[in-house]
Structure 1
């Protein structure tokens, strides 16, 4: 199945219209949407950057790193997950 592909200009016009209808003052663009997807929707929810890179169609992970800003909450969540794993490991060996 193939899906229609619209040009960037038309996509940005649709996003602007959506933003206006929602009362947003931020200028919504396809570029902004890619950043939001990479940072807020995927990385912050634990999707590995390698997977995000493939989702965005990048051949080089360095390109993905431009889009994927690591937030303080992401760091906090990752540290909590690591602490939990280390605690489990400690309980296993020290029973």
Structure 2
């Protein structure tokens, strides 16, 4: 029930696609291309510090890794998203 993803429609930006092994209606194996995509996206500000004595301002941006796939179950389209953050949380 997994849908094949298309660049610009399901996933935007610099993306890596993954193929998955699957079984057809008769149980025969095949490879579904572009079933899962992964990309990095900006997630705001990670930290910011201003050192008043030296007038130095430092700031780091936060990023997260997004993995996604979509499947169609009867008349419902479901998207599954995993967000992997820099602190190790999912």
Q: Same fold (TM over 0.5)?
A: no
User: Could you say which structure has the higher strand fraction?
Assistant: 2
TM-score by length of 2: 0.20
